[in-house]
Structure formats: C-alpha cells, structure tokens
Amino acid sequence: MRTGTLIEEVQRRLTDGGLRGCLLVRDLRTGQEIGVDPDTVLPSASLVKVPLAVATFERIRRGELDGSTPLDVAPGRSTTPGPTGLTRFRHSARIAVEDLLYLSTCLSDERAADTLFGLTPPARVTALLREFGLHGISVRHTVDELSDTPVERFDTTQAHLAHALAIDAGTGGRGHRVPQLDTTRANTGSARAWVDLLQELRAPKALHPQVAEAVRGLMLHNMLRQRLTPDFASDATTWWSKTGTLLNLRHEIGVVEHTDGGAYAVAVLTESLVPAAVQPGADALMGQAARALRDHLRHV
C-alpha cells in the first residue's frame, strides 16, 4: 500500500472508531518516519511522568538528590476509578526517592509523581529538557492538578457527562474550559516531540547514558499494558512504554526493539469523541493504527 493511502486509511479507521489521532512512528536506525498529524500539540496527561523521571535521575546523577533518601508521603485516599498505588493509600508511608520513581513511572502513581515534583518542580523539569535539546515538551504543573477535573465532581454513573464536557468545551485554537485540556496551560507535547524524547532515551546524545538506561528500565516494567502492548510485545521483541489518560485523552509512547536489530519509536496521542469512560475498543484501535504504520515502515 502506498504511504499516502495508508495514512488516509488509518485516519478513516480512527474517525470511524470515534478517535482523533496524532501518531508518529520513526525507524531509529534510518530516521524514516510515518505519521498522522504528528506536530499537533496535545495535553500530555501521565506521559509527563517520563520527563519527570529523566529530570529526577539526572539530578541524582549530579549529586543534587540521593535516590536512597526516604520521604514521608501523605496518602492519596482516592475513591474514583483508575488511580493506583499511593494515590489509593489510606495511611502515610515512608518511601525512598528511587522507589517513588518506580511507582510514578511503572504504576503511573500520581501521589508518587507529585512527591517527586516537590523535589524537582515543573519549571526545573522543563529547563532540563531544554538543556538536553528537547524543545517540544512543556511541563507546567504537577500531577495533582490532573485529578481535579469534572469527572471527580460527578457520580460514577454520570462519568459520561464529564467526558461530554471534555469533548464539547474546546475551542478552535485548542483552548478549553477544562484547564487540564487547555494547551496554553496544561503539560503538553506533540507526537513528534515524544518520539524525539524516546530517540534520545534509546541512543542518548545530550542525555547521560546512565540516566537514559535508568528511564528505559522503568518503562520496560510499565504495568499498564492494555493499549499498544498487545500489538508490539512478543518473544521476538522488547517493548518499553508509558501510557497517559485524562478524561477523553488516551495516549501511549514507546519503543519496540526487534531481535534482528530493528527499533521503532512510537507515539500515539488521541482524543475520544465518544462520551464514555471505558472504551476498550479505542485502546485496541490505537494499537492497530500504530502497528499498521510500523509494519509499513519496516517493509518499505
């Protein structure tokens, strides 16, 4: 199939499935890439925990932080569906910095992430990204602000109302009445920017190799595997990734490495047009779209 025809087909499938998608797949050996609206900037949701991990490991490497330092963490006491780890704890806990990195990245634990943001504020995370030549990702606020959305104000049986607001309250300039979805105020990045970060993590040029290896190791043990993982994990591949979810946003970024030496960075950022919290079909469609683009690149 011709590249243009494939892109049109992927766009059609996403639209038919109720998704607006921004995708990019890059061959990390050749630099060839294929995508759908890869430069559109979207709120990052929990993808922001990857640059947070980069910044924290870099500060540990510089001696500014000690990864073994224990921190007292207040319980999250979350009762809404979705959050994991400390976010659902009922009692305080004492946890080392490096273990908080595991919880934040692998379990997408919001309480752990915000404890790390207490050590390295959003502005410092962004500054470190710029220092490493990564300019497309902006970190503006902590993760705690992600949990203060309309979905927390509705009963679980009315979650569709929060999603309807998320879908309908945007503006043509990507502003939004929900602050976490307003690209001028939210943590943001494009598919291309996330792929650039993935490329730097796999073959670091500005980033210290020790830091890149540490972040890759965490992403390898990502516990949320319902989206792209079914289409990229196998006995002949290694897949390391991070998901992000917020209201009608469903994202995942990752790298698939093949035993023959091939490696592809993948970023799939989507906005659902369906006012529903649970959409397993959307997760499956994301993986199918990314796999189709990767397969095309692999065989051109």
Q: Is the pLDDT of residue 170 over 60?
A: no
Q: Is the pLDDT of residue 207 over 90?
A: yes
- Number of C-beta neighbours around residue 252 at 10 A: 28
Q: Which tokens go with 40?
A: 């559109």
Q: Is the pLDDT of residue 25 over 90?
A: yes
Q: β-strand 19-27 against 41-43: which pairing, if any?
A: unpaired
| H-type alpha helices, 65-208 | 97-106, 110-119, 122-131, 159-168, 191-202
- On the CB side of 234, how many CA atoms lie within 13 Å of its CA? 9
pLDDT in tens, 215-269: 999 999 999 999 999 999 999 999 999 999 988 899 999 999 999 999 999 999 9
What does the alpha-carbon distance between residue 232 and residue 185 come to, in Å, rounded to a whole number?
33
> Residue 72 pairs with which residues in a beta bridge?
94
Q: Which residue has the higher pLDDT, 3 or 163?
A: 3
What does the alpha-carbon distance between residue 128 and residue 114 come to, in Å, rounded to a whole number?
18
Angle, CA of 75, 80 and 84, to the nearest 5°: 55
What does the alpha-carbon distance between residue 175 and residue 148 come to, in Å, rounded to a whole number?
18
Q: Which tokens go with 263?
A: 């490696």
Residue 147's pLDDT is what?
58
For residues 120-133, average pLDDT = 98
Angle, CA of 257, 39 and 280, to the nearest 5°: 60
Find the helix or strand (DSSP H, E) in which 218 lies.
helix 209-220
Phi–psi pair at 242, nearest 5 degrees: -150, 135
Whether 77 contacts 89, CB under 8 Å: yes
Those residues whose C-beta lies under 8 Å from the C-beta of residue 219, and which sit 6 or more positions away, are 50, 105, 201, 240, 241, 242, 254
